[in-house]
Amino acid sequence: MYRVSFSKQILGLPFTITSVVIQSARNPERALRVAQLKFMRWSGITHWRVRADEAKIEPLRSLPG
């Protein structure tokens, strides 16, 4: 499980626009790509960099179920 946070630099400070949690991905690169596609779909844009300057990915621990 991964969280991808999209942020925009405003006056030199990073502001998180949104975060996307990806439940299942083979690797961090695939999780990043899926999150980018979701962000673009939600925002109605053709490329995620139209709204964000950076995308950070972090692994999340899965809770035992």
6-65: per-residue pLDDT in tens?
999 999 999 999 999 999 999 999 999 999 999 999 999 999 999 999 999 999 986 565
Position 4 scores a pLDDT of 97
Position 61 scores a pLDDT of 81
pTM of the model as a whole: 0.84
Q: Are 6 and 55 in contact (CB under 8 A)?
A: yes
CA distances 64 to 2, 20, 50, 61, Å, are: 16, 21, 37, 9
